Amino acid sequence: MCAALSVAGAALAASLVPREADGEEPASDDLQLQLDDVREGGEFVIDRVWSRAAPLVVRRGVTLRFQPTGEIRMTSDRDALVVRASNVRIVDPAVVGVGASHAGTSHGIAVIGTRNAPIADVSILGGRLRQLASDGVHVEYCDHLTVERVSISSVGYAGISLLGVTDAVVQDSAVSDVRQSAGRINSYGITVTRDARSPVDVTRRSTRVRIIRNRISGVPAWEGIDTHAGDTIEIRGNTVTGCRVGIAAVPSKSANDRNTTDVAPTNLVIADNRITRSRGLAAGSGILVSGAGTAVGSTAPRATGAITGNTVSGAGGDDAGGILVKLTSGMVVESNRVASSEDDGIRIEHSNTRVVVRSNVISGVSGSSVALDVRAGANDGSITGNRVERTNPPVRVGLRIGDPANRFLVQGNAFGSATVPEALGRSVVRR
């Protein structure tokens, strides 16, 4: 026996674009008819290999369970399983697509609600999804979603992509080998986003999503874990390796002016993650948080939240840092360890109001070698209790504040092992 799936949104620039309907519902076949006969609340078992050219569509609330001998192998660039109903459980799914190296649109599992009629209570538990042209798991407009213990490998765009979801958890899953196939400008291990073609009061942002204890590896062209304009997103206890940018929380584009952004990520928790960037990748931050707007001092919405207890290795380079924040309000950067970064360990870029940088440890910064760099202007807050470790060669500058338009309390730091402990310029510093 077997299961079903259908289409989902494609990627446009920094946001996903959903499709309101498939438009190509598969013709009925024996497998589809068997699934359609299962009563609401019933169970359907897939216990052998099925080769399919069309999606298997789940139209009512059932449990779809794969036995160890069960698998769906796609012969066309179509979604394998499409969920269009609430109260659905998919257990141990096994899906093989047509390949991840071409710019196709197929997903392993697509869960498709609409902005006017979200679906609810969908769980994807265990299983393995691989060789998919777009996403492993793709979800649009779903409330109360669980994705747990899923292994996803060799995809063209994203391991797990969530658009307009609320009250969701993605946990204990693994994503590897995200190709960013030709024609795509970005790619993700896990992305939590919204449809930015319309204002936020029309197409909602993702809210109350927990991304915990996942393992993301091999997203060399873009980002391991991402949220565009998410609210109350918790990214905790994940291991991210081999990604250009480890974790990014950034705004979504304006529906009226695609050259700017207008909805910031808010109430973030980025905590206790381990991020290691591989040698040879393009410059990228271990953790990047940005509010909306672009100009120094922008009045667009600011990012809010906390970055705490993370370990970052190997990140940085041009326009990047081990940890980089900009356009934030009340952001807390606390008790992180940044090692073997390039140019900047922690980079406070610009337009951070009431930023708290506290009790961080920085070591092994190469290149221009600044442990804590307040890079541009319109920043204010406190820098307290941070420490630069003794390394060989030593860190060149412990704390640099380069622009006079910055105001900080600087107190209780241990920068003495840097060649230049502090380079404060003409900024306003209180002790």
The stretch 36-64 carries a mean pLDDT of: 97
**Banded model confidence at residue 6, pLDDT cuts 50, 70, 90:** very low
The stretch 271-284 carries a mean pLDDT of: 95
The stretch 355-369 carries a mean pLDDT of: 97
Share of the chain above pLDDT 90, in %: 89
Tokens of residue 411, six digits: 């107190």
Q: Please compute Rg for the chain using Cα positions.
A: 23
Dihedral sign for Cα 260, 345, 313, 329, please: negative
pLDDT at residue 8 in the model:
30
pLDDT at residue 98 in the model:
96
Question: Residue type for 32, please?
Answer: Q
**What is the rounded average pLDDT for all residues in the chain?**
93
Under 8 Å between Cβ of 375 and 349: yes
Q: With a cut of 50, say whether residue 60 has pLDDT above it.
A: yes
Predicted confidence (pLDDT) per residue in 66-118, tens digit: 999 999 999 999 999 999 999 999 999 999 999 998 889 999 999 999 999 99
**Banded model confidence at residue 150, pLDDT cuts 50, 70, 90:** very high
- 212 C-beta neighbours (distance < 10 Å), count: 17
Under 8 Å between Cβ of 310 and 273: yes
Q: With a cut of 60, say whether residue 389 has pLDDT above it.
A: yes
Pairing of strands 15-17, 10-12: antiparallel
Predicted confidence (pLDDT) per residue in 223-235, tens digit: 999 999 999 999 9
Predicted confidence (pLDDT) per residue in 299-333, tens digit: 999 999 999 999 999 999 999 999 999 999 999 99
Predicted confidence (pLDDT) per residue in 156-200, tens digit: 999 999 999 999 999 999 999 999 988 889 999 999 999 999 999
Domains along the chain with CATH numbers? 10-430 (2.160.20.10)
CA distance 303 to 325: 9
- pTM value is 0.93
Q: With a cut of 50, say whether residue 290 has pLDDT above it.
A: yes
- In this structure, of 18-22, 341-345, 425-429, the range with the lowest mean pLDDT score is 18-22
pLDDT at residue 246 in the model:
98
CA distance 115 to 96: 29
Omega cis (within 30) before 393: yes
pLDDT at residue 15 in the model:
34
pLDDT at residue 182 in the model:
80
Q: With a cut of 60, say whether residue 402 has pLDDT above it.
A: yes
pLDDT at residue 263 in the model:
96
Predicted confidence (pLDDT) per residue in 10-34, tens digit: 333 333 445 433 444 444 689 999 9
Collapsing DSSP to helix, strand or coil, 171 comes out as strand
Under 8 Å between Cβ of 197 and 15: yes
Q: With a cut of 80, say whether residue 121 has pLDDT above it.
A: yes
The stretch 135-148 carries a mean pLDDT of: 98
pLDDT at residue 28 in the model:
60
Cα dist from 111 to 19, 48, 69, 271, 295, whole Å: 11, 23, 24, 28, 38
Contacts (Cβ under 8 Å, ≥6 apart) of 283: 244, 316, 317, 318, 319, 320, 342
Contacts (Cβ under 8 Å, ≥6 apart) of 206: 162, 163, 164, 165, 166, 168, 192, 193, 194, 227, 229, 230, 231, 233
